[in-house]
Amino acid sequence: MLQFENAGAVTEVTVKKKFVLALIAYAALGVLAWTTLSDEPIQVFDWNLKLRTGTLLILGLFAFKSALFFWRTRIEEERDRSTSVD
């Protein structure tokens, strides 16, 4: 957990807050990519891949990786709480 001091007040940045901020950032990048990139196909090995689609696919993979990290962290925290209670 990160803590920042801002004019004497301590703000805690939890994993959930970081996850939500990451999803918002991925969504904003996706919207920007959709509106600014052309939909021209590019040659990737033997496939024609549309540039916009490839960019959104990569952003989706990053969002999925962030979700896996968030779920793993939640499971580990629950496991730690249950073992400390026992």
Q: Where in the chain are the domains?
A: 23-76
Overall average pLDDT of the 59-83 stretch = 93
Read off the pTM. 0.74
Report the mean per-residue pLDDT for the chain.
86
| CA distances for 18 relative to 2, 15, 39, angstroms | 10, 5, 32
Q: How many residues does the chain have?
A: 86
Pairing of strands 9-13, 41-44: unpaired
Amino acid letter, 45: F
Q: Which residues contact 15 (CB under 8 A, 6 or more apart)?
A: 1, 70, 73, 74
- Residue 82 CB-half CA count within 13 A: 6
> For 20-56, how does the pLDDT look when each residue is reduced to its tens digit (9 = 90+)?
999 999 999 999 999 999 888 888 888 888 989 989 9
pLDDT value at 82 more than 90: no
